[in-house]
Amino acid sequence: MKLLASAEDRDALLREAMRLRSGQRVPEALATLARLQALHPQFSRLYQERGHCHVVLGNAPEAIDALTQAVRLNPTLPAAWDMLEQLYGMLGDAAQAAMAARHLAALRQLPPQVVVANSLLADGDLSPAEAVIRDYLREDGDNVGALRLLARICTQRAAPGEAESVLRSALERAPDYQAARLDYAMALLQQQKHLQARQEAERLLRHDPDNREYLKQYGAACVGLGDHEPVIDLYERLLVGQGQSGTEVAELRLWRANALKITGRQSEAIADYRAALAARPDYGVAWFSLANLKTYRFADDEIARMRAAESQLVIQDMDRIYLCFALGKALEDRREYAASWEYYEHGNRLRRVASRYRPEVAEACALRLKQVFTADFFVQRAGWGVADPAPIFILGLPRSGSTLIEQILASHSRVEGTQELTEIGRYAGEICGLDPDCGLPLNPEALQRLTAGEVQALGERFLAETHTYRRLGRPFFIDKMPNNFWHIGLIHLILPGATIIDVRREPMACCFSNLKQLFGTTNQEFGYGLEDIARHYRTYLDLMRHWDAALPGRVLKVQYEDVVEDLEGGLRLMLEHCGLPFEPSCLAFHETQRSVRTPSSEQVRQPIDRDGLEQWRHYAPWLAPLRATLGDALMNYRA
């Protein structure tokens, strides 16, 4: 059956069903609705129309069932509540009739435009919902409920900045509007404004200390700030409460396990991951989290359970994807490389379908950056920015060994490791706009218009905003966001005293390591196809060569394989570049106790192991397209 392409097609089928019902052709109307349900199972109005059909047929139980489904999906359907009140009354169910009547009365107290916009939002019709509510707000701009609704629409269309602005306006009018404040905290969190999000959560908790949603929001903000210890007890507290569903228990156990893993308490983390799976056996992300420890080895029965879960016909897409990557790792550890590759390949293919990444967009962005950030650009702006030497940027491609380099340097008494900070990318987005597919700077030319004062302010802003991540009082700190290789020009402009280290790994090993790593729902989307990752690697090399030409000597290139072969030699090179004295503690980096959030968290708590250098060779029979697309990068990646 061909999927419908648009909401217009969906609505056409609904209108057809309504026409058939009006013509007393109810069986045909129900058949049309069945087709519509197969294509759009979350469309509330199809169930409302089905309720109408069963009312015509005199089948009250079926009508109630359909209408109940409609209001579950969309509580703002007055006609559905009206029919439910009448049907329950007819059957003598006074309690349910009264409940429906209360819902109907509440909707009738709202402005009709607000009800309509809410209903449209519930069915995913964002553009018409936004048009309706904006028209209404032109008449009644102080309606904070309508403002909150507009913010929810903005959030749904992936515009958290707009949602934040609208919610701030609502809270200025009604500071005690707690539901809007919770939405506001969520909008801040979506933009990685973790400190502000936690402050809002703390304000909510002063109002209601035991509110579960407020506590979860507080926990998420703490995690964003790298403050993992408090959330371990917080999630345990939430698990003690009564009435959680299996899904909620699984989520809480997963979140707690993640915090335990990051803080180095691996055995406890494993216990919680297993508890999550006991609550929800097909919870793909929990299976993958065990695999993502890199050191965990699955038992026979666990692999059988994963295979059974993945083979189910009805399973959420992301659960299947997580399970594929977990099975790929489990079978790789058993040296069953052909079967392992089948799962890696299947998981990547499924993940690639949902990805918006396009390699040509990244390549075009690199070209624009090269055109903007010329050597003359930097000469003309010499002396701009903040010369503070505190930041150390470790960047490159994911899975290049950057977590190892971070751990080595963070073992120095004068250096603090933080996490993959998002501030630089956010500044680039604010100034240049972001491409909707790849999240890369859309108009780098805007950086040419910055004044010396604005550049100075950005440097000061970075140091101020990252201060919250610096808890040890050390003079230097690390920002290990790999994607900052796109922003080296901006970094040098606003922070000319910062240290920049590019960690590079042999292309086949690096690309394969990305292919077998699932980065979550929206991160690093270039890593799910052989051609995509190869082209991305080539784009990275091309841009790094440009930075080297435009800013000679500015970036230290560290070859991962060289550090593995000669740790002390690599360490001395990096410390010299950072202006730091040699300390033997950096050679014993695996003994350093600190939180590590990346997929390599357990690996960097062990001495250096050469095994990872050649793992890709086990998959060489399937990686020929990767090798072909990498081309001359296989030979000149060190240049």
* Alpha-carbon Rg for the chain in angstroms: 28
Confidence category of residue 3, pLDDT binned at 50, 70, 90: very low
**344-371 burial by CB neighbour count: b if 16+ within 10 A, else e?**
bbbbbebbeeebebbbebbeebbebbbe
| Chain mean pLDDT for the chain | 92
Q: How many domains does the chain have?
A: 2
Strands (E), 441-524: 476-479, 499-504
Which of 168, 525, 111 has its CA nearest to residue 348?
Answer: 525
Residue 453 lies in domain: 359-592+604-636
Establish if 579 belongs to a structural domain.
yes
Please identify, among 77, 109, 141, the residue that sits at the C-terminal boundary of a domain.
109
Taking residues 394-411, report their average pLDDT. 94
SS3 string of 220-252? HHHHHCCCCHHHHHHHHHHHHCCCCCHHHHHHH
Residue 4 scores a pLDDT above 80: no
Residue 5 scores a pLDDT above 60: no
| Model pTM score | 0.82
Establish if 224 belongs to a structural domain.
no
Write out pLDDT tens, residues 260-278: 999 889 999 999 999 999 9
Among 51-60, 169-178, 607-616, where is mean pLDDT lowest? 607-616
Please identify, among 109, 130, 148, the residue that sits at the C-terminal boundary of a domain.
109
Confidence category of residue 158, pLDDT binned at 50, 70, 90: confident
Q: How many residues does the chain have?
A: 639
CATH at 391: 3.40.50.300
Taking residues 473-478, report their average pLDDT. 95
Residue 564 scores a pLDDT above 50: yes
pLDDT of the residue at 601: 47
Establish if 412 belongs to a structural domain.
yes
pLDDT of the residue at 606: 63
pLDDT of the residue at 7: 65
Establish if 144 belongs to a structural domain.
no
Establish if 486 belongs to a structural domain.
yes
Confidence category of residue 2, pLDDT binned at 50, 70, 90: very low
Please identify, among 60, 91, 109, the residue that sits at the C-terminal boundary of a domain.
109
- Residue 228 near residue 263 (C-beta atoms within 8 A): yes
Establish if 332 belongs to a structural domain.
no
Establish if 575 belongs to a structural domain.
yes
Write out pLDDT tens, residues 287-336: 999 999 989 999 999 999 999 999 998 898 999 999 999 999 999 999 99
Burial class (CB in 10 A: 0-12, 13-18, 19+), 300: exposed
Establish if 406 belongs to a structural domain.
yes
Confidence category of residue 505, pLDDT binned at 50, 70, 90: very high
CATH at 78: 1.25.40.10
Nearby residues of 179 by Cβ (< 8 Å), 6 or more positions away:
148
pLDDT of the residue at 595: 57
Taking residues 98-104, report their average pLDDT. 95
Percent of the chain with pLDDT over 70: 95
